[in-house]
Structures are given as structure tokens and as C-alpha cells.
Chain A
């Protein structure tokens, strides 16, 4: 089990790094004290402003991620849930090296990867792949399916013969259940579900061990969602994959996830094994989120009503970022940022109320 990690104290996360030897199995991926902010103020000239007679440089930021520590263990499916804009995609994109973190580290098998150049990153690219949300935008419209699938194989195995590359493409097409006759066709000729299969095939083409999937089924219909989820679970069993699975659909998480991280405004507020989280949500936000899922049950259950709306990540609230909407907020919540603490059943919660035993 990983040691307690504070969300905000860098010393605490350094201590975790020291304790890592005690872990039975080192995590595949470690996210340490991750921050990401986006500047809203344009280039240098646009940042200059006149204020009370002085020319000053002023910058405004979107604080998309505000200190996240996560371990992803080999072979698990770690699900990240949260409402739109809470920073799920930003986590995925930073982990994949599509964005550079503003602060913090990303480690893959203990090796820092967030500061590597494109070339140094290449060996890791083969081992970690990504599946995107929008199957209509994630395939290059000017490339045939064959070209799309061959490209990553050629890049990572430049020494392979043409036949070997073609065999690999055929194998991967077989394994995701798409017809090998589709090769010469273009992406726009296929339905959303078929395109998502092709995108999965592209990710699997180089035999990765870790896959980040950013809302891979959100754009699909219910009956197709089931097909794609089944495919991803099969691939996980056959290839021993590790997933970082991002979604806002809690029913999918319950079915698919090994562990769940619930995010709110760029922070993890609860991290727990899936069964534990659904049986006993501890954080007030998690409780509200779970109670809001529309279920097929007979009567409309009473869901927890939250006050107000999600604040903008431009001006983060002080203390607990959830305090403006939390029914249990007190004075301490408004001032002090809660950190993730271990509670029973392997769950970890960042809430003063839980820590104080009020909840």
C-alpha cells in the first residue's frame, strides 16, 4: 500500500518517494505533486496593463490541476471521474506528455519522463498509448485505415520488413474485431463505434503496456458503448494492460474500474477501490455525485442537492475547494486545504469533516 501523501506539502511527497522501497510492487506510473495552469493573458504585450499610474505585467491563469498525487499500479484500471472542467483531460494529457506540467513530476517505472525530449521519449511512446474521446476527430481524414495502423509500427520498428508490418496490422485488426478488408478505406466511411475500434487498434498496434483513455465511450450510443467497453476489457486481459480510464459516467466506472479517483476543481477528493467507493462514499462531493446518477430503479430517489455552481478555476476558493457547495463546511474548511488521509478499506479522502469524524 502506498504511504499517505499530502496533496499540498511537497515534503510529504518526497517522503513517499523515500518509502517506495517498502511497497510490494512499485507502481507503473507515479504522478507527484502535479500542477498545471494555463495562461489566459496572451503574449507579453497583452499582459502589460496600466494600474494606478504604473505599467505592470499582469497574468491570469486557469488552475486546471492543483497538486495531484496518484500512483497507477500495474494491471489495474484506474478510473478518474468528475464533472466537466475539473481537469480530467488535463491529467491525461500531461501524463501522456502532450502538455508540460507547470510543477511536479511524472514517473514511469521510476524514471522521470516529464522533462524528456521528443527523442528521449520515443521508447516510452511505444509502451504508453492513448485513446481519445471523439472518434470523428481522432482519425486523420486523409489517411486510409491501413496507413493509420502502419504508421506507429513503422516508426517504432523501423527494421521490420513490409510483410511483418502488414502481419502485425492484420493481427491487431483481428484482435479488435475489424475486417481486414477495411484497410484501403478512409475513417469517414465508418460509424462512431467502428472508428473507435480503429482508434483502439492504432493504440494497440505497437503492443503498449499502459493506455490512457480519455472518455473513450462518451461519444457513442449505449449499445455501442457496451461493445467498446467489452473490447477494452478483453484487450486488458489478453495483453495485461494497465489503464488510466477517464470518464464522467459512474455506471461505467462501477463496472470497469479497479480503483476510482474522484476529482473536483483540479484536485483528487477521494481515491478508493471501486467497491468501497460505491458502497461507502466518504467525501461529501462523492456522495452527491453518486446520488445524482439516474438509475433504472422504480422510484425517483432523493438526491443530495448541492448549492450553487462549480467555481471557475481562475480564482480558486480558499481552503477546501468544495466549501462553497458543501453542506458540512465549517470555519476550518474555508481556511485550510484538506489533504488526502487514509481511512478504512483502502480509501483515501481529502476532507476535514471526515478527518474530524464529523462525517
Chain B
């Protein structure tokens, strides 16, 4: 059984125009030590998905349905006390903005000791020793002096290393990293990613990596989810999706990268932009931008306009698209005919 199992997760924000569905039908699993990437455009629901795993959705938001099973226990209805035992301890989180984790008025050491002592019965001395050990692991130069420094005295890259050290502090089973390197430069990003990979490998920690950078996902993760307008529209092994995306949106996203076009020529853009969640198009939310809405006869596929596509298994991937469903059905029919 998987370490983390999310089924039909449904998250809504109660706004004055009525509920906005930020996540719907989100299903995925994460095994021990597995690295999972979540990609999608801004507003697709990546951060909401990450936050809701730990029930960290802030007020107008709430989990309206579905289940989150971690290590056999249901998290979505759990009381705060039980959740606190999981948060930071068994599942820890790295935010895009380092200042969301770091308290500017406490030294690095104080913050690390504090969170250790919140979860373990140990002395300050022991806690400091563990903190030092973790800072060593993230390869911060002169870790002893860092313990007594304040967050603003560190550079962006160093802060992100400290945050990784804090995330690792309690030897969690899963780290959720929400755009951990977006604010950093490429050279620093490469180092931080190396570090994260190495540590997750060594300690057999599962990683949920949220990013909008397909390059990073393809290099770091084993499986990936592609999100669009609150739904996971494609998921499967990273390599297979990168090399052979099936959903028209995933295809568009990968083809739009500059490295996919010859220099100086037009890029393969997806027309339009992601709709707002409060005003989703009917049927498949992607249909106004989709190049495959028309079927073989050149007329728009009726299902695309009317029916929200369900999930079909195609090879190792699971895709939410009527066209892919048709192809899969066709193949199945073909293979049955062959057998006959």
C-alpha cells in the first residue's frame, strides 16, 4: 500500500459569488522514497493541493470531499492535535518564499531547536547537536556560526539550504516542496536541486515537488501530475509524459518551450489563457484552447463541449481527455478484433 493516497480530493473557496472549486477529482499516490512532480500554470491549483494535504488551507477555503490517507490514517477530517503530530514531523513542507518558514526575529539555531523540542522530548543541547548535524548535511559553509545568525544575514541560496535542513530536522517520510527554487538563480537552483535529490535518496524520503519548470521536473522526479484549472489532467511516469505527452494541454505545454522550436522561428504557442475557476467553460475546461476539439469529421466533438472528461488509463498514464479515451477504445477494439 502506498504511503500517501489521495482520492477524489475536492477543495473549495467560499467566496461572495458562491463557492469556487479550486481542486476537483484529484487522485494520486506516493510511495515511500518516491519523487512526484506537480506542474501546471499559475492558478492551476498546485499550491492548494500541497496545502490541503496537511489541511493548511486558510479560511474561505475548505476541503469539501475526498480522502487523504497517510500511512493508513485518514488526514482530511483529523483534529488539529493529531494533525500537528504529522505536520513538520512526518510530513514537512518547503515554501517558495523562505520567509514563510523562517521567523526574522529568531536565530537559525533557536528556530531549529524550537521545532525539534516541539516534537521530541530532548534537551536543548541534544537539539542543537541535531541542528548542527542537519546544517552539515545541507553543506552550509561554517555551520556553527550559522546557528547564531538571523535569516536576513544569509543569502537566498543559503536560506533555502537552511529551510531544507529544517524540513529534514525530524526525519520526515515526505517533504512537500512548493516551488523551492523559483526565487533563485539557475546556478544556485541547480545546486539546491542536487542537494534535495541526494538527501531524499539517502534517507528514503518521498518528495512532492511543485514547480512550473518542466526542465526541473524532468530531471528530478519519477512520476508527475499535470494540473489544469483545478484538475489533474494527466499523470504517469515523468519520462513517458515528457517524451510522449498524450493530453493536448500537456503536448501544448511541452511544445511551447523555446527548445522545442528552431531558433528564430515561431514558438508553438497555446492560444488563449487559463480560464478563471469561477467561470469555467462547459465540458472539458481546456476546450476553448484545444487544437483537438474537432473529431475526424472536422466538427467539434460534442463530448468535449458538454461532458467533463473522465480518467482513462492509457499505457502507464492516466489522462482526462475524450480524444484519448476514443483512441484507447479504438485500440482495444482493434486488439480484440485481432484476437478474434
Spell out A's residues near B (CB within 8 Å): 83-84, 191-194, 221-227, 229-230, 233, 248, 250-252, 254-256, 274-275, 288-289, 291-298, 300, 303, 305-306, 308-310
Contact = CB atoms under 8 A, between A and B. Distances in A.
Interface in B184-233: 185-191, 193-194, 197, 212-216, 218-220
Interface string B247-279: 000001110111101011011111101100000
B25 interface: no
8 contacts: A192-B42, A222-B214, A223-B273, A226-B270, A251-B258, A255-B261, A288-B187, A292-B189
B239 interface: yes
Name the prevailing secondary structure of the B interface residues: helix
Given A221-B41, A254-B259, A296-B218, A306 B187 contact: yes
Interface of B: 41-42, 141, 155, 157-158, 185-191, 193-194, 197, 212-216, 218-220, 239, 242, 252-254, 256-259, 261, 263-264, 266-271, 273-274
A233 B266 contact: yes
Given A293-B186, A294-B190, A223 B155 contact: no
Contact of B267 (A83, A226, A250): A226
Nearest to A278: B263
B187 A289 contact: yes
Contacts of A305: 191
Contact of B257 (A191, A227, A233, A251): A251
B273 A191 contact: yes
Contacts of A296: 214-215, 218, 242, 254, 257, 259
A27 to B, nearest CB: 21
Contacts of B252: 223
A250 B186 contact: yes
Contact of A252 (B191, B194, B258): B258
A223 B186 contact: no
Contacts of B264: 233, 255-256
Nearest to A307: B141
A101 B211 CA distance: 38
Residue among A83, A194, A226, A300 with max Cβ neighbours from chain B (10 Å): A226
B218 A294 contact: yes
